[in-house]
A and B are shown apart, each in its own frame.
Chain A
Amino acid sequence: MPFSMTTFCSGVAVVLMLSYVGLIAMVMSYAALTIEFSQSVRNDEAVVATLESQYLAAVARITSTDYVRSGYTVPVTKIFVPAKAVTALR
């Protein structure tokens, strides 16, 4: 089959066109995915922030609880952990 310049140029044009369309598609997909993932991360961070807020509120509630007022009695004696305790020395 003889070499045809027209066929060759047409082939190159098609390849270039496909590459161009492919690149556009890739860039668009990349941008869309980046936005989507970033948005998703931020949304998750917001959910975590809400959980952290609940955790810190629970710590504050426990810290401010007056156990005597809640019906518990003050310990009669306090025994301090002696220095010989192996666990305490760890």
Chain B
Amino acid sequence: MRAQFRARIRLILAVVVCIALLIIVRLYFVQIVHGDDYSEKADRQFASGGSGLFDRGSIYFTRKNGEFISAATLQTGFLVALNPQIVKDPEAAYLAIRDVASSSSSLFSREEFLAAATKKGQVYVEVAHHLSNESGQALSAQNIPGVQVLKERWRYYPGGSLSSQSIGIVSYGSSDTLAGRTGLELWYDGTLLRSGDALYKNFFAELFSNVGNLLVDAKDAREGDVVTTIEPDVQTRLANDIAKMNEKYQSEESGGIIMNPATGEIIAIASYPSYDANVLQQVDPLALGNPLVEHVHEFGSIMKPLTMAAGLDAGVVTPDTTYNDTGCITVNTRKICNWDLKPRGVIPMQQIIVQSLNVGASWVATELGQEKFRDYFIKLFGQKTNIDLPNEGRALLGNLSTTQQVNFDNMSFGQGISVTPLQMIRALGALANGGVMVQPHLVSAIRLDSGVVRQLEWNQTSAVFSAAAVRETTQMMDAVVDEKLEGGKAKIPTMSVAAKTGTAQLTKPGGGYYDDRFFHSFVGFFPSFNPRFIVLLYTNDPQGVTYASETLNSTFLDLTHFLIDYYAVPPDRPTADFVKALSQPTSP
């Protein structure tokens, strides 16, 4: 009995030993004999997590119907790496890679490739990136010795240059990790960043060692996708119009913002020149910022409606108040004149806006007094807008601290005060929003990886003017479109539009102003008394033209008609036919 038991034990032992030997032999062949092959194959398939494919959340545009379109996402493809120690025919290898690479791939030049192949001390040199899946698989199938085809993932911007200065870029920078460096990529980096270990968690190990995190992961409340308020069709239209206008007048730069004045949602924001975020090799680093948020300008006469609203709000003038326009006045030994140097005589307040009279704006500023003027303009421009973009510029308000009246007169028509385009549209937005400034923003929500959509709140508002003051100012701006713009031809019979042009002289580096170089600006909102859109445009140093009405009228009107059509904005004015129909008795 005992002998029989021993025999059985020995038999089982022998079986176990045999199995162990088989496994050891198999492991020897897998790891030692064919180890390199399997390693290379694994790299190609990228089934291991060791080298960590790049991962990052997406940024979305939002179409008018609420659909998302990617502004920044990930693209998957292949990179090609060379092992100079193994490669036998570098010339043939280069030709094979070049043949499959597409125009969007980045590939070493022939000279660079051959030079890399001579570095026999190295085993890994990346020679091509961003190959498509088809190209990568075709190259991999050729099994060229010393050429590795590895899976790669990279940041991709489907719109190319569309809103690139606001979306921003991802790059290595000074650290060794890919991270957002400008724009929304930087501002929302904490949300977009992915730790990259999610795929390789051992569920059971987590279960025993880290139950808390498995059930409630802090990352789930942080990591997600960013949903912007930018509408891609409107953004395209604005960018296209800005580019055409800039090219036509050979301006140094141009820009524009379209915003919802009631909420601060920025629907489009574009500047020219811009850049394609997918091709950064040739981009000037200085162009990576957003000039609409970072740069300050003297905007000229689009400041007059703010001066007028301040005067009306303070009660120092009414729409019926008149003044004697002499064409030119002398203040603190400095001469201030109307744009055409002509006097208008005794005229009401509305004409200051309609005819854009510097003498009139100075008169309102004088009536307002320095203290009140200072209070209003500090409310309007004294703080940053706190938009969700980095490096926001601060207004230059030094003249508000002086006591010379000429400085206040100049500021009343937009000279001697420099603000960012974003600050300007926020301040003018108060005229379109019952006197309340809103917080401009580009992102409406964060779509968390857990599936929850977290709406962001942008409720930092500031009341500046009374509703009555902005309504009276809006009526004056309404008359600009109905009576002045394009000689009255710009009037839209079914829609009220309030607007104002601005032409400022550019400052000289050593002080003073150029006589023949200008900064043009334009602001408008519609429907005038319940606006859905406010549009701000500017162009810096256009050639061969003096006034903003020459450069920006057509761009503004094109955008206005486009927005009315695209959003089917209902008319707010009855046409003559409608009035006639109303006056006729209806048949029973």
Contacts and interface: CB of A to CB of B under 8 A. Distances in A.
Contact of B70 (A48, A60, A82, A83): A48
Interface in A45-88: 45-46, 48-50, 52-53, 55-57, 59-60, 63-64, 80-85, 88
A79 to B, nearest CB: 9
B364 to A, nearest CB: 35
Nearest to A52: B158
A29 B162 CA distance: 42
Interface stretch (B35-43, B290-298, B458-466, B569-577): B569-577
B502 to A, nearest CB: 26
A88 B69 CA distance: 28
Contact of B575 (A48, A53, A80): A80
Interface string B193-216: 000000110111000000000000
B240 A64 contact: yes
B570 A23 contact: no
B204 A46 contact: no
B494 interface: yes
Given A27-B203, A55-B69, A59-B236, A82 B570 contact: no
B133 to A, nearest CB: 8
A30 B203 CA distance: 8
Interface string A7-36: 000000000000000010001001100110
Contact of A60 (B162, B200, B571): B162
Q: Is the interface of A mostly helix, strand, loop or mixed?
A: helix
Contacts, number: 103
A80 B232 contact: no
B581 A84 contact: yes
Interface string B418-460: 0000000000000000000000000000000000000000000
A83 B240 contact: no
B573 A83 contact: yes
Contact of A80 (B133, B236, B237, B493): B493
A56 B159 contact: yes
Interface in B460-508: 492-495
Nearest to B571: A83
B230 to A, nearest CB: 12
B63 to A, nearest CB: 10
Contacts of A43: 76, 133
Nearest to A55: B69
B200 A31 contact: yes
Contacts of A60: 162, 236, 240
B286 interface: no
A63 B237 contact: yes
A64 B547 CA distance: 26
B187 interface: no
B124 interface: no
B73 interface: yes
B32 interface: no
Nearest to B240: A63
B570 A90 contact: yes
Interface residues of B, number: 43
B109 interface: no
Contacts of B1: none
B574 A83 contact: yes
Contacts of A83: 494, 570-575, 578
B177 to A, nearest CB: 19
A83 B492 CA distance: 12
B367 interface: no
B69 A82 contact: no
Interface string B546-588: 0000000000000000000000101111110110010000000
B204 A27 contact: yes
B64 interface: no
A64 B578 CA distance: 36
B317 interface: no
Contacts of B53: 42
A82 B204 contact: no
B47 interface: yes
A88 B73 CA distance: 37
A89 interface: yes
B321 to A, nearest CB: 33
Contacts of B47: 35
B74 A42 contact: yes
Given A45-B74, A46-B74, A90-B570, A82 B494 contact: yes
Nearest to A85: B571
B578 A84 contact: yes
A49 B237 CA distance: 21
Contacts of B200: 31
A74 to B, nearest CB: 13
Contacts of A31: 200, 202
B331 to A, nearest CB: 45
Nearest to A30: B203
Contacts of A90: 568, 570
A63 B239 CA distance: 10
Given A49-B70, A56-B236, A63-B237, A42 B76 contact: yes
B570 A88 contact: yes
A21 to B, nearest CB: 14
Interface string B230-254: 0011001100100000000000000
A3 B484 CA distance: 108
Given A45-B58, A63-B233, A89-B571, 13 more contacts: A46-B74, A46-B76, A48-B70, A49-B75, A49-B158, A52-B73, A56-B232, A59-B232, A59-B236, A64-B240, A83-B574, A88-B570, A89-B570
17 contacts: A35-B49, A42-B76, A46-B74, A46-B156, A48-B73, A49-B73, A50-B158, A56-B69, A56-B159, A56-B162, A59-B236, A82-B494, A83-B494, A83-B573, A83-B575, A89-B570, A90-B568
Interface of A: 23, 27, 30-31, 34-35, 38-39, 42-43, 45-46, 48-50, 52-53, 55-57, 59-60, 63-64, 80-85, 88-90
Q: List 6 tightest A-B contacts by C-beta distance, closest first.
A: A53-B158, A46-B76, A52-B158, A80-B494, A82-B575, A83-B571
